[in-house]
A and B are shown apart, each in its own frame.
Chain A
Amino acid sequence: MDIGEEIRADAERGAQRLVAEFWDRLYGASLILCKDSHAAEDLVFRTFAQAILKIDQYNPEQPFWGWLYAILLNYFRGDLRKMKAEVADEADCGEIAACMEGEPGAESRLPELDAEVVRRAVANLPPALRETVVLRYFEDKTLQEMSKLMDVPVGTVKSRLHLARRGLKRSLEEAFKWKGEKT
């Protein structure tokens, strides 16, 4: 049965199917965005609940995942806005600026990055850059798709992606080097 139909027919069964099919992917994305596991779980929880409540708004001709993902991003941005009301915006700008400092080594190898090291590196990025990491490296979205999902011009996506990559590589530099030396 189509997942939309299933949700309409029985919310709990729909919830079970959502969890079974999308938990892994959505939780991974959510964790990149939120950094902490409780917040990530909460974000997924709200996303699933909202998907069930708003199932009538889902267009079956579109991929369900994309729709679900858009809900997740909306919630995440809403949370950010709420947080930013309390924390000065400069902090975020500062974080992005920090990622611009220093250029990583020109030569890169192909290391197998340690999962924990990657998580730490991602967690160090500001929210907007984490969002690009999710979309590009977790969801394998193109620049155009990212632009649409993030609701910013392609140019901005590109620059953010650049900053994110630079930030990651800076954090991962040690890992790159270490792995590189080993091989």
Chain B
Amino acid sequence: MNCQEYRGMIEDALDISLHGELEAHINRHLEHCAECRAYLSARRAEHIALFEGVNRAYSHMRRPPADLARRIAREVKAKSAERRGWRRLSLPRWALVAASLVALAGFVFAATAVVLPLLNADGARGREYGQAANAATEPPGANDAVPAALAAAPAAVPALKSAQPKSTVEDAVEVSADTNIVVEAGDTLKIEYVYGDNPVTVTKSGGGRLEIATSSITNLSVVIAEGAFASARPAAIPLDDTFRPSLRLDASDADTFTVSQSNGTNFLTKVVDADGNGAYFSRWSGWGYPYVAAEKLNGLGLIDFGTMKDKNSNNSPAMTSGNGGMFAFNNIGPEGKSSMPLGDFFFVWKDRDDSIDHELIGGKEFTGPNLLGNNPGWFVRGDGGGGNGFTFYTVGMHGGVKEHIHLDGQKVNYDKRVPRGFHLLRNRVKEGSSVNVGMIGYTSGSTAVGRMWTAGGFVLAEAVIYSNRLSEATAKRVEAQLQSKWLGMKLNALTLNEGAELDVSAFKFSIGTMDISGTATVTGETNLCFKSLVRTASAVAAAGTFAVNGGNSPLLPDIAFDGDAMFDVAGTSRVQTVSATSDRFVKTGAGELRLVDPVMSNITVLAGTLSVSPLYVRSAEYHLDANAADTISWTESDGKKLVSQWRDMEDASRLFKPTSYRKYSWNSSLFVRGPYVTANAAGDKPMMDFGTFANANHQEGWGGCLEPSLSLTGLHDVFAVWQDHPEVKDYTYGSDYGTDFYGPCIFGLQYYWFRGTGGNGSSFAMHHGTAPDSMYKGDGLVWIDGVEVEGKTFRTGDGIHVYSQRISGGGAPIEQMGGAMQAGVKTTSESTSVQGTYGGLMIGEVLMFKECLTDRLRMRISGALNAKWRGATNEWAYGEVSVAAGATLNHPFADLVADRLELGGTLAAKSVKVRSLALPASGAVLDGELELGADGVLSIGPSAGAFGTLRANGVRVAGEGIIAFIGDISTSLCGQSFRIVETENVSAPGITWKAPSLRGSGLRAVLSAKEDGLYVTFSSSGFVISFK
């Protein structure tokens, strides 16, 4: 053998073992061959380097996700669900808890992993369906064994300390007094369920991580002195005899769905019981299917029952086009019935905004979307609509259902109105009640226009239905589990000390008052819901931005609050949705906070800037604005600014560019270009000019067309501000063309969605008769300039218009749009010859949403576009608005209407209409027109210093008004008394002066009415208040 062959053997040997003995004959060779020894040495070094390098590189990469084991168990459960039958099992889980509490007595958490047994082994046989185990009378039976066992443990837990090492899961911990928890660095303590009767504060210290999944303590406050605190995904409702529901519909459990795809929407034809007991939900004949919602709640999937639909649609024209989804349940119990006894039931749901807002689109008051209905109908929800929430139940409903209603953990009356957003209902029916053909989503009721039978109108997260009544302890735990799972772990207050870390990536916290100090950090996805945010330092995130999204996005989470809420914002943050049922939104901090479509009645800006608009688009695929020059790239060509890119306002990676369909497939002579930016195309705003038509027969036109860089599928609501070129409207090319000439399309598919005929001087119809049905059927509605139109035949007339369209029915996306959507394209036949044309219009602004917007938001966007581009009136109403000195409120797209405006800082609005205006301090700036309402009051002072200037673009007083000086103005102004020394040219009859202390000699007030409004000028010792 030669050296080469030995080296091959050496290589093989190394591949078998790096350190083991080489075979004898190789060793013999090596003894006398220095070169091969060197070779072996080098090779071995190499192998070891790789071996160690790879191991270093891939070991301890990261810790497993906290909930991995649980997810695996869930997956296993789902996959093996079919194999299990209708068996209920009893597991001695509380024994485990009790055992762990022995350890608590020593104030040390034992490292025993106490895990909720999610899976029940087959074999043991527990309570069968319908069997009333410890039901109606609630004796201290098995259900109450939990608290009893726990009560035996020390009532208060002064200090809990995690033991060595890693991860410890505690199932249930009673905390009945203020408690300290120590979790050492490197440890994780997860508490599945915290309960107790008293308000308590839990203080956590140590460098480790504390996770709390659920809690039923009404008033739980947490202080994180150090280390990490995290929300945790709560375990599923246990399946033992105590907790196992008779029927459970879980929208987050897609494994239980049977889906039928239609028009791009996942309709649910059947949903089986989430615990695998064989019962199922299916559509009630004659009504719509619910579908998988695009929206998620706390990261979990939802089922959308679609917009409400009236069966006798003649009673409410506005409710003819809804989806009207409805489920009835089947195969209940061993006998497979469709009825069941009813005890406690729980719902996590929200009424759709378009139901709540229904009156806004022409509806009358009607009974709300029902959660659990009966046949014949009772469990009827009360009246609502018109922007108010629905009450729970009507007065005349079945008496047994309305006595034990809990909403979000609070007992409420049946006539309590349910605010917008998701809520948790816990209810108990009268003993002996049952449901016959249980229906989810069905209701009936009479309205001003007659009897209505409706379905749909809400979004469901989970329905948990028990055939028996639960003990209070059990019901509370189920309630707490649902609360945490869907609405977030509930805390009264959360304080993060210096260096503490809050991780909200797993699940949502719902926090009353949140106080973040010093270098505390918030990481993870945006899963926060709080009423009040108090920041005591600016180091929460880089660059002064409150980055609850780990710095990846400037977006704050959707914010929901009740009562007065204070937001202290240091940097620039944005909130997509603010829902507040009442009271005041207070903005502090020097940063800017942007709110999209807020629902709130009172605004106070104490510092920094608050911007309010419907147009900060998060979920749109595109928001393009021809006014935003920095979003447009162009090259000079033919003396025009030829557009090469038109970028999204929010995300520069989304953009439109000149179409790649440079030449039309059936006519290669047609040349298509990009549009160009007009300097002043219409009015005072530049638009994107797509040039005159170009097609094969008349190539003199420009023929601009843009296409998106992204594939656009599943669009729901689209908006565009556009204008048809007049010369296109007047177009009468040759002798054969003109009258049946198809109009310039705003959005086009490659072969569809073209405008209707026009030309020869008339404007174009909105759509051609062969456009896809999804444009017109179902919810496929078209609004022009804010008014709903019959899209196929409506002719717009000249000028700029605002186009708004909802595509397809019941939230269905239209797949045909995928990748081929283009602006400015028009592809169809002229007369008898098939030709494509492009161009023929100008576009000012475009918004496209994948979400189905609420009617209110859609109308607000449409209103804003109408106001911005067409000068239309667009009013947003508030109760009180207050802007402190130095603060700014931006309200650019709508007229701000308020009962009372207190203006010390700057208010930028299109116009401001107030009944009363107070100027408490100097330096007020109004960038917009001011209109004081009839009987309006202008209050000036008291001011701690000099009056500055209120600048307004114009001031008008409607009817009689009062200008009143409040307080002892003489004291605040240079210690003198003042009087009006001169008035001239006052021609605003009806204005009454109330200036009791306006005496002295220093102040000069001049009121003058000019053509463009009333001018008031005061001057004294260099202080000037002037309206101009």
Using a CB–CB cutoff of 8 Å, the interface residues on chain A facing chain B are: 9-13, 15-16, 18-20, 23-25, 27-29, 31-32, 37, 41, 45, 48-49, 52-53, 107-113, 115-116, 118-119, 122, 133, 136-138, 140, 142-144, 158, 161-162, 165, 168-169, 172, 176
Size of B's binding interface in residues, CB under 8 A = 48
What residues on A are CB-neighbors of B58 within 8 Å? 28-29, 31-32, 119, 138
The closest CB in chain B to the CB of A10 belongs to B117
Minimum distance in angstroms from B299 CB to a CB of chain A: 16
The closest CB in chain B to the CB of A113 belongs to B53
What residues on A are CB-neighbors of B55 within 8 Å? 28, 137-138
Decide if A118 touches B53 in the complex (CB within 8 Å). Answer: yes
Minimum distance in angstroms from A62 CB to a CB of chain B: 21
What residues on B are CB-neighbors of A172 within 8 Å? 53
B640 within 8 A of A: no
Minimum distance in angstroms from B965 CB to a CB of chain A: 67
Decide if A143 touches B56 in the complex (CB within 8 Å). Answer: no
What residues on B are CB-neighbors of A144 within 8 Å? 16
Decide if A49 touches B15 in the complex (CB within 8 Å). Answer: no
User: Considering the chains assembled together, what is the distance between the CA atoms of A25 and B64 in angstroms?
Assistant: 11
Tell me which of A12, A108, A122, A143 contacts B16 (CB under 8 A). A143
Decide if A137 touches B51 in the complex (CB within 8 Å). Answer: yes
What are 22 A-B contacts defined by CB distance under 8 Å? A11-B76, A11-B118, A12-B69, A12-B116, A12-B117, A12-B118, A16-B113, A49-B72, A53-B80, A107-B42, A108-B42, A112-B52, A112-B53, A113-B49, A113-B50, A115-B56, A137-B50, A137-B55, A143-B16, A165-B46, A165-B50, A169-B46
Tell me which of B18, B49, B69 contacts A15 (CB under 8 A). B69
Supplied contacts A13-B115, A118-B56, 9 more A-B pairs, CB within 8 Å = A12-B118, A16-B69, A19-B72, A45-B68, A48-B68, A49-B79, A107-B42, A115-B56, A142-B16
Decide if B64 touches A27 in the complex (CB within 8 Å). Answer: yes
Known A-B contacts A28-B58, A28-B59, A161-B15; the reply to A11 vs B45 at CB < 8 A is no
User: Considering the chains assembled together, what is the distance between the CA atoms of A113 and B53 in angstroms?
Assistant: 5
Decide if A133 touches B60 in the complex (CB within 8 Å). Answer: no
User: Considering the chains assembled together, what is the distance between the CA atoms of A31 and B60 in angstroms?
Assistant: 11
B552 within 8 A of A: no
B48 within 8 A of A: yes
User: Considering the chains assembled together, what is the distance between the CA atoms of A25 and B119 in angstroms?
Assistant: 27
The closest CB in chain A to the CB of B118 belongs to A12
Nearest 4 pairs of A and B residues by beta carbon: A113-B53, A28-B58, A12-B73, A118-B57
Known A-B contacts A9-B121, A45-B75, A142-B16; the reply to A168 vs B69 at CB < 8 A is no
Contacting A at CB under 8 A, from B33-49, are 42-43, 45-46, 48-49
B416 within 8 A of A: no
B788 within 8 A of A: no
The closest CB in chain B to the CB of A23 belongs to B64
User: Considering the chains assembled together, what is the distance between the CA atoms of A16 and B68 in angstroms?
Assistant: 8
What residues on B are CB-neighbors of A41 within 8 Å? 65
B285 within 8 A of A: no
Decide if A45 touches B57 in the complex (CB within 8 Å). Answer: no
B2 within 8 A of A: no
Tell me which of B17, B63, B71, B80 contacts A45 (CB under 8 A). B71
What residues on B are CB-neighbors of A116 within 8 Å? 57
B870 within 8 A of A: no
The closest CB in chain A to the CB of B58 belongs to A28
Decide if B65 touches A136 in the complex (CB within 8 Å). Answer: no
By CB atoms of chain A within 10 A, which of B56, B76, B79, B116 has the most? B76
Decide if A108 touches B57 in the complex (CB within 8 Å). Answer: no
The closest CB in chain A to the CB of B13 belongs to A143
Contacting A at CB under 8 A, from B117-166, are 117-119, 121, 166
Minimum distance in angstroms from B25 CB to a CB of chain A: 19
User: Considering the chains assembled together, what is the distance between the CA atoms of A108 and B57 in angstroms?
Assistant: 20
What residues on B are CB-neighbors of A158 within 8 Å? 12, 15
Tell me which of A11, A107, A176 contacts B77 (CB under 8 A). A11
B61 within 8 A of A: yes
By CB atoms of chain A within 10 A, which of B11, B71, B115, B119 has the most? B119
The closest CB in chain B to the CB of A146 belongs to B15
User: Considering the chains assembled together, what is the distance between the CA atoms of A143 and B13 in angstroms?
Assistant: 9
What residues on A are CB-neighbors of B856 within 8 Å? none
Known A-B contacts A11-B77, A27-B64, A45-B68; the reply to A133 vs B54 at CB < 8 A is yes
B70 within 8 A of A: yes
Decide if B68 touches A52 in the complex (CB within 8 Å). Answer: no
User: Considering the chains assembled together, what is the distance between the CA atoms of A47 and B771 in angstroms?
Assistant: 49
What residues on B are CB-neighbors of A11 within 8 Å? 73, 76-77, 118-119
Minimum distance in angstroms from B869 CB to a CB of chain A: 44
What residues on A are CB-neighbors of B60 within 8 Å? 24
The closest CB in chain B to the CB of A144 belongs to B16
Known A-B contacts A15-B76, A143-B16; the reply to A122 vs B69 at CB < 8 A is no
Minimum distance in angstroms from B238 CB to a CB of chain A: 11
Decide if A111 touches B49 in the complex (CB within 8 Å). Answer: yes
Known A-B contacts A11-B118, A15-B69; the reply to A140 vs B51 at CB < 8 A is yes
By CB atoms of chain B within 10 A, which of A10, A107, A109, A169 has the most? A10
The closest CB in chain B to the CB of A145 belongs to B16
Tell me which of A19, A112, A137 contacts B64 (CB under 8 A). A19
What residues on A are CB-neighbors of B11 within 8 Å? 162
What residues on A are CB-neighbors of B63 within 8 Å? 23
Minimum distance in angstroms from B763 CB to a CB of chain A: 48
User: Considering the chains assembled together, what is the distance between the CA atoms of A113 and B46 in angstroms?
Assistant: 11
What residues on A are CB-neighbors of B80 within 8 Å? 53
Known A-B contacts A41-B65, A49-B79; the reply to A138 vs B73 at CB < 8 A is no
Decide if B57 touches A18 in the complex (CB within 8 Å). Answer: no
User: Considering the chains assembled together, what is the distance between the CA atoms of A45 and B72 in angstroms?
Assistant: 6
Interface mask (B330-344 → A, CB under 8 Å = 1, otherwise 0): 000000000000000
Decide if B117 touches A48 in the complex (CB within 8 Å). Answer: no
What residues on A are CB-neighbors of B64 within 8 Å? 19, 23, 27
User: Considering the chains assembled together, what is the distance between the CA atoms of A133 and B58 in angstroms?
Assistant: 11
What residues on A are CB-neighbors of B119 within 8 Å? 10-12
What residues on B are CB-neighbors of A137 within 8 Å? 50-51, 53-55
What residues on B are CB-neighbors of A49 within 8 Å? 72, 75-76, 79
By CB atoms of chain A within 10 A, which of B43, B55, B166 has the most? B55
User: Considering the chains assembled together, what is the distance between the CA atoms of A158 and B16 in angstroms?
Assistant: 10
What residues on B are CB-neighbors of A23 within 8 Å? 63-64, 68
User: Considering the chains assembled together, what is the distance between the CA atoms of A179 and B55 in angstroms?
Assistant: 18
What residues on B are CB-neighbors of A161 within 8 Å? 15
Known A-B contacts A9-B121, A12-B117, A45-B68; the reply to A113 vs B77 at CB < 8 A is no
User: Considering the chains assembled together, what is the distance between the CA atoms of A29 and B77 in angstroms?
Assistant: 26
Minimum distance in angstroms from A95 CB to a CB of chain B: 19
Decide if A110 touches B48 in the complex (CB within 8 Å). Answer: yes
What residues on B are CB-neighbors of A111 within 8 Å? 49
Minimum distance in angstroms from A32 CB to a CB of chain B: 6
The closest CB in chain B to the CB of A108 belongs to B46
Minimum distance in angstroms from B47 CB to a CB of chain A: 8
Decide if B61 touches A27 in the complex (CB within 8 Å). Answer: yes
Known A-B contacts A27-B64, A53-B76, A113-B57; the reply to A16 vs B49 at CB < 8 A is no
The closest CB in chain A to the CB of B46 belongs to A108
User: Considering the chains assembled together, what is the distance between the CA atoms of A109 and B44 in angstroms?
Assistant: 10
User: Considering the chains assembled together, what is the distance between the CA atoms of A158 and B10 in angstroms?
Assistant: 13
What residues on B are CB-neighbors of A25 within 8 Å? 59
User: Considering the chains assembled together, what is the distance between the CA atoms of A6 and B502 in angstroms?
Assistant: 35
What residues on A are CB-neighbors of B43 within 8 Å? 108
The closest CB in chain A to the CB of B113 belongs to A16
Decide if B54 touches A118 in the complex (CB within 8 Å). Answer: yes
Minimum distance in angstroms from A182 CB to a CB of chain B: 14
Minimum distance in angstroms from A130 CB to a CB of chain B: 11
User: Considering the chains assembled together, what is the distance between the CA atoms of A44 and B373 in angstroms?
Assistant: 44
What residues on B are CB-neighbors of A12 within 8 Å? 69-70, 73, 115-119
Decide if B166 touches A20 in the complex (CB within 8 Å). Answer: yes
Minimum distance in angstroms from A94 CB to a CB of chain B: 24
Contacting A at CB under 8 A, from B160-200, are 166-167
Decide if A48 touches B72 in the complex (CB within 8 Å). Answer: yes
User: Considering the chains assembled together, what is the distance between the CA atoms of A9 and B122 in angstroms?
Assistant: 10
